[in-house]
Amino acid sequence: MTAEKSAQVMGTSVRVKVKGWGAHSAADQAINETMRLDRVFSRYNKDSEISRLNRREKFKPSPDTKKVFTLADRIKRLSKGAFNVSLSGKYDLGGIGKGYAVEVARGCLLKRGVKSAIIDMHSSIAVIGDNWRIGILDPRTTNSELRTEGKLLETIVLNDGDALATSGQYEQPGHIIDPRTGKPADKCLSVTIICKDAGLADALSTAVFVLGPVEGMKLAKKLGVRALIIDRNGITYDNSGSKLR
């Protein structure tokens, strides 16, 4: 049995594909988890915990909010401030929330005993089981080329426990901000991180994008994760084989 469900969440779409017994209810549960976390994390929802934090209300944060901020603080320290969920005194989990939600959804499926599944939120992906092929768009192509030809930089195979996140300037140039300067990050065109935690991959892809290919690759190597970086000049860095082309 195979079930595939999708929904609009966190400003994008999420697709969950599950194989095996109970696939339909499992996919529904995974979708519901991402929607639940959207209600917790969205700064556009006045009742979310993030909105309450930004209003400096006193309340007891949920375990998810505590966990996502703990991870965000870790990446902030490791990146020396290149990743920061607080800009101008306001919290925004746009650089980590999707990946965290994808990871939580995967955890729900694992608890149900699912052996084969993918949770795909475009820029953040996590899988259960082997041989999931993921195409990475080439940011050096134009928007029209991406729409009509779907040019790929590379196809990456994700296996059991893998997660992937990509940060790029594909459709919103200048939307990734260097929190240290308040200006758009301009050292990279795209960054893809592959590791074992989707939340970590999401935050790291943003941090590496801001740091640029040299410092970003140092951080990736320090943490033992794969990084595929296209710098602003279109040069590719890939630490899976230390190749440069």
Q: How far apart are the C-alpha atoms of 212 and 189, rounded to whole Å? A: 10
CA–CA separation, 241 and 61 (whole Å):
42
Tally of structural domains, the chain: 1
Reading the block at residue 64, the tokens are 């998810």
CATH number of the domain enclosing 153: 3.10.520.10
Q: What is the DSSP string of the chain?
A: -EEEEEEEETTEEEEEEEESTTHHHHHHHHHHHHHHHHHHH-TTSTTSHHHHHHTT------HHHHHHHHHHHHHHHHTTTSS-SEETTEE--TTTHHHHHHHHHHHHHHHTT--EEEEE-SSEEEEESS-EEEEEE-TTS-HHHHHHT--EEEEEEE-TT-EEEEEE-SSSTT-SEETTTTEE--SEEEEEEEES-HHHHHHHHHHHHHH-HHHHHHHHHHHT-EEEEEETTS-EEETTTTEE-
What's the domain range around 138?
Answer: 2-244
**Residue for token pair 């901000």:** 177
Q: Could you give the CA distance from residue 104 to residue 32 in angstroms, rounded to a whole number?
A: 11
Write out the chain's pLDDT in tens, 245 residues: 999 999 999 999 999 999 999 999 999 999 999 999 999 999 999 999 999 999 999 999 999 999 999 999 999 999 999 999 998 789 999 999 999 999 999 999 999 999 999 999 999 999 999 999 999 988 887 554 444 455 888 899 999 999 999 998 765 666 899 999 999 999 999 999 999 999 999 999 999 999 999 999 999 999 999 999 999 999 999 998 543 33
Partner residues linked to 156 by β-bridges: 134
Predicted pLDDT at 180: 94
Residue 13 CB coordination number (10 Å) = 12
